[in-house]
Structure 1
């Protein structure tokens, strides 16, 4: 069997046949000849007129331990719709790529499962090549139809680099939190970019959007999808309550230290012997944790605060009552529970909790909507953990675009088919 015949059968390059095989010190180079006579631009326009010709090489999947390169004479054409001279599109490689589709698909499949450094060692290519391949594969597979039939979404920010570098992530609640869109930054202008891509027709189909209480996102959502119900994420609501309780704890501790009795030194450092200070000391985690997860010592700390009728216990009880809003039994109205909590917080005489009540009252409608619809950003918080793992796996990325491409590749439900599975 001739070498060209054998390589034709082994490689099965679409749209071309093997006309020559050269074995060299750096590997194997296979010469191809395209079957198509018409030149086709990436935009879809085709012609027979040739502007000029040149030879181009593409890296293909290795043949054993040998690097395999494909070479072919590529023609350029003057594309009328594009208004410029472009290189013809070939079926075995993506536009502008110096790697074949099979090679790039294998790289993308591996990038979903391992770090880029090990991919470079396995496939003998550069780290920058892996990043550019991921971007090309994502652009090729990411379909605008992913934004069709989207009714309930969640939006959250995630830090991808030190120096307050954030990404805004939009996920679909109806598809198990699959990523729909990612943008650089966390401003209202960034979120507006999602609605620009979504379009007014699809934005009109939105029913609910879960998000953080702060920032410009609610205003952007109201401007682009006024019919969509904004839902305050329960995690951020309880986070505000925990911050208020911790502010009370710090205030009580500082007051006890200023007005306490004598202070003695021992092997463990400076200790305040005042009973009021001892009640507050080391209660932070007991106040913030779920009571079901308390240790015996933490349960004893809260019990001591309760016996002393300490202001810190009242702040903690207010926080737990707010948490109960998200654990109501069936049939109990959420609005009555929240209104009762607001009335209690308004007369508690604890400044931090009164300020919390003002914030909760401002967002009362969005908080109740989240309870009634059962929406939260819990899936997005899990998604954020996966994004941080992706970023850590790559030991950081040189740009936001590189991180965004990896997020789309790993978290948007893209399926990369290996050449062996076709």
Structure 2
């Protein structure tokens, strides 16, 4: 523990803490007006986010300083973590079958309500998949030469596909895409020939693009009432469909326009007062931009991208294949969530309900992401200790 404290990477720790603290402030700011109008305490969501942050920081500290990194490389731990995530995802499917639409939130059955906190199994599944792939690919390092790639990768590919299947039928297209990105990035960095990885990546991208293009132009009747389909159409025609699902994107545009370069001031957003639905979740960046301006939003995104770069840099310098892959996997989670969230807020990507990492309201996301950052800090400290020992 003393060694890890001595080798603590402040370039990861400080941005993480800044984002968590700023998230509490913005959740309070974005939710206070709606809570007041509905007869609740204006600080309701802000206080809950603060409690989530306290739990998350305790988990983060435990993973950073107290747990040995070798635990994450043990087969029993990896399989157990993976099994827990799959059981939770299967429980959601059972919940959907039994309760149907009554269990859905925003069109998807993605949460397990424990009263004190709602668990989102997808968040656990993301980290479980990263650790499992890092473990598997590390054990098979050097065996992905041309001719035996499929033979060595079919097991993790099938498992990842099954996990994505469980998520897509919730339905959660954004979560499915994040899991797919984790697989693509980690497979690509595991020693597979670059040519094969690029063919795999472009094949998936082309297939998804073609499917979306066909659905938009076909406009099938049986999908008219589907929540996910309505979101896709609202993304394509937000102003024409403002009364049928396009209101979020339209009011996001208004918030960004109102904020300008420097914003209207913290707490002074108009769009959070009933115009933008649930502004403290996946559209919190719109409120940040309105209150702190485009410059304020860019500062927040700059801190996020700096944090990603530092974790990725730890992975690049790591001598352990497992450590490197875990860092790249964690970076992929944060990057893809940020990309989907920002893309949805400014209308470049369909609205998928993906939240802004560390900022948006939500206990599951914050705790799991904090777990990932704690693991990254643990890896950073261990790599520094290993380099010092090698140089002696």
TM category, shorter: under 0.3
Which of the two has higher C-alpha Rg? Answer: 1
Which of 1 and 2 has higher RCO (CA within 8 Å, sep 6+)? 2
Instruction: Report the TM-score when normalising by structure 1.
Output: 0.25
Structure with greater strand percent = 1
Structure with greater helix percent = 2
Instruction: Report the TM-score when normalising by structure 2.
Output: 0.26
